[in-house]
Amino acid sequence: MKNILVAMPFGDKHKSYIEKIGTDCKFHYTTIKTATAEEVKAADIIFGNISPELVKQNDHLEWIQLNSAGSDQYCKPGIIGPDTILTCATGAYGLSVSEHMLAMSMMLCRKMDLYMKNQVNHAWKEEGSVTSIWNSTTLVAGLGDIGSEYAKRMKALGSHVIGIRRNVVDKPDFIDEIYTMDQLDEVLPKVDFAVFILPSTPATHHIMDERRLRLMKPGSYLINAGRGDAVDCDALNKVLREGVSLAGCALDVTEPEPLPADHPLWDAPRAIITPHSAGKFHLQETFERIVRITGENLEKYLAGEKNQMRNQVDVKTGNRK
């Protein structure tokens, strides 16, 4: 009998669904905030993003299913053992985060951020010319679930979409051009939207530094909804204030996070910032997808088909296998 610790906010229907799959398993329900060391140590399997500091105290953990698409905190040395299976929730967040990013893109194009400030100040004031997604060029760095869903939406609205990923074979139909990260410097000066949905790894840390931010053409926009450390936020603040390249940015993630109240980026010209809220469980369908991924993986695990489990993460690289 497997002891499964569930730290996701399962309702009755979710509990019924998962318990029908794991009929010979013992389920214990807790929350991320209230989980104790004793509960974690007793688990063979964990569902949910329990604190890595607690997880590393379990020396017999067989599998942990995260409720997040990102897994970098669990890939650090000493958190999980070499034989522990780590799976994430890629595939659950594409709908919610891509729509959030699309909303940000439209706000920047139509200067809605400026008009919202005018409304707060009761100012009936036009803000001049605007741009359009139609006939624009969009760079999407990271073509996982979220990046692909965003790319499809931009393509449908008439943008020429350029993708960047590790594998350039089998270009998706919704991508017009595809490159590797080594070609980022070549692509950046061409695009109107530079969009990053990347995991946090040594290779992606500050991939958008001051030098690359200055490569972007005047009037272009930067959007980051992956991990905050992909963008050097201090450099971004500097470049936005100089007005030499970027016309604005939209960030759902920052470095550091939360962004301190006194950080100058809050007041940088045309900076739209949301508090890592594009995903999470704000859209109910996101959570339903997480539950389905968890259930499907539990079926595979109990059937001995561990190599068929979805979203397995290579702990050494932080990338999906």
Report whether 270 contacts 243 (CB < 8 A): no
Residue whose entry in the numeric block shows the structure tokens 């994430």: 88
Residues contacting 27, CB < 8 A, separation 6+: 4, 6, 15, 18, 19
Residue whose entry in the numeric block shows the structure tokens 């993460």: 313
User: Which residues in 62-169 belong to E strands, given as ranges?
Assistant: 63-65, 85-87, 137-141, 160-164
Residues contacting 110, CB < 8 A, separation 6+: 130
- Strands of 220-224's sheet in order across: 177-179, 160-164, 137-141, 193-196, 220-224, 246-251, 271-273
Number of CB atoms found within 10 A of residue 203's CB: 13
Catalytic residues: 227, 257, 276
User: Of how many residues is the chain composed?
Assistant: 321
